[in-house]
Amino acid sequence: MMYLLLAWRNMWRSRRRTLITISSIFFAVLFAIVMRVMMVGIFDKMISDTVSMSCGYLQIQHSGYWDNKSIDSTFEENPLLIEILNTDKRITTWNPHLESFALASTGERTKGILVTGIDQEKENRVSKLSEKISSGRYLDQNDKGILLAEGLAAYLNLKVNDTVVLLGQGYQGNTAAGKYLVKGIVKLPIPQMNKSMAWLPMQGSRDFLSTGARYTSFSLMVRDRMQVGEVKQDLLDKIAGMRATAGVNYTPGSSYTIMTWQQMLPELDQLFQAKMAQNVIMSGILYLVIAFGIFGTILMMLNERMHEFGILIAIGMKKRILAGIVVLELILMSLTGTLLGIAGAFPLVLYFRFHPVRLGGDWAKTAEKFNFSPVIQPSADLKHFIIQGYAVLSIAVVLSLYALVKINRLKAIEAINS
């Protein structure tokens, strides 16, 4: 304890030197945190945008649906399954879908599209679809109209209150055909989806496909993306228990399967993994630069104090005690700089979390080519602050051990004359 107190007092004997050392570590921690949370935030946003508009982080389907995407591979509404989803606190929200491919036709133009039957209220909670309306309005609860993606509407030369004809194949071989009034145009941030999506109210979709009260999938959003595997396994266990529950309207043909977003969107997952690997390399380069900066500061501090060290050794102070005190000083400076860096990064990251940077011009076009909205919003996950702070602190502590070598090799006469 005495050595710790002595090291703390020694730190402030030269405020300029101490502030320079602490500042170098402060800015290293600040820069490392900002770089990490920006990169993670970009991909969190891209994944969130994509899964909220398509499949969710998890999706419950009828067994075999994913392989053929047939409207015949649907499942009936099950109260017990809905109760399981509503009671799991890790699931923030979920929405039912009834999806099928169809031909959209108007005048001389025809295009193959994905028609999705939605529960308007639940869908809006997940995808915020009403906020993406560029013209017209969102679907009401008893609406019989249709929403079209902006790119699709432009291709078909359709505007609000125009009529579009849908043709497809319904449940168990029935013909699906319908004429719908365009109630709204939706602008999606993902170009591929913006050219091929349409939405009908759930009842309108059931009437179009002649399915009755059936669904192709339930899309689930979870509180923490890292819990996807855990939530999936728990749901599978609960569904297995549900099958054994007596008195439930369950038939052998209504078996379920659960897929994660990585399984449904492997290209997005591969892109994410590749970018995270790239970020690890960039972080390694950053840490190397930080290490050189901190080491330079430590060398400056030690060289400035050579005369002082020589006198202390000459009057009888043991080198190992002197070296230990100096290392404690450097560790205290590193710890102070790290804590200040984390504290300084937090309000900065929080500001840009609530006021994200919106890209424009060529940057926005480039972002859209990679299928994510042109917005940079940093991650506010505290683990990134702790990990980056710990990494820089570890570098500083390891480099401070150089003082042990330097002082143990010190010759008092040469140090006094330096």
pLDDT per position as a tens digit, 243-293: 665 444 544 445 788 999 888 888 878 877 887 788 788 888 888 888 887
Q: Which two tokens stand for residue 324?
A: 């230990």
Please say whether the dihedral angle defined by the alpha carbons of residues 334, 335, 336 and 339, taken in this order, is positive or negative.
positive
Question: Which stretch of 35-39, 111-115, 370-374, 402-406 has the lowest confidence by average pLDDT?
Answer: 370-374
Residue 280's closest CA among 227, 353, 272? 272
Cβ neighbours, 10 Å, residue 156:
20
Amino acid at 207: D
Residue 408, Cβ density class (10 Å: 0-12 exposed, 13-18 middle, ≥19 buried): exposed
With cut-offs at 50, 70 and 90, classify the pLDDT of residue 361: low
pTM of the model: 0.73
What integer best gives the mean pLDDT of the chain?
82
What's the CA gap between 184 and 160, in Å, rounded?
A: 6
Question: Which stretch of 391-395, 397-401, 406-410 has the lowest confidence by average pLDDT?
Answer: 406-410
DSSP state of 317: -
| Antiparallel, parallel or unpaired: β 163-169 and 357-358 | unpaired
Residue 207's closest CA among 92, 107, 115? 115
Query: Among 102-106, 191-195, 364-368, which range has the highest average pLDDT?
Result: 102-106
- Listing DSSP states for 246-288 in one string gives TT----GGG-EEEEEHHHH-HHHHHHHHHHHHHHHHHHHHHHH
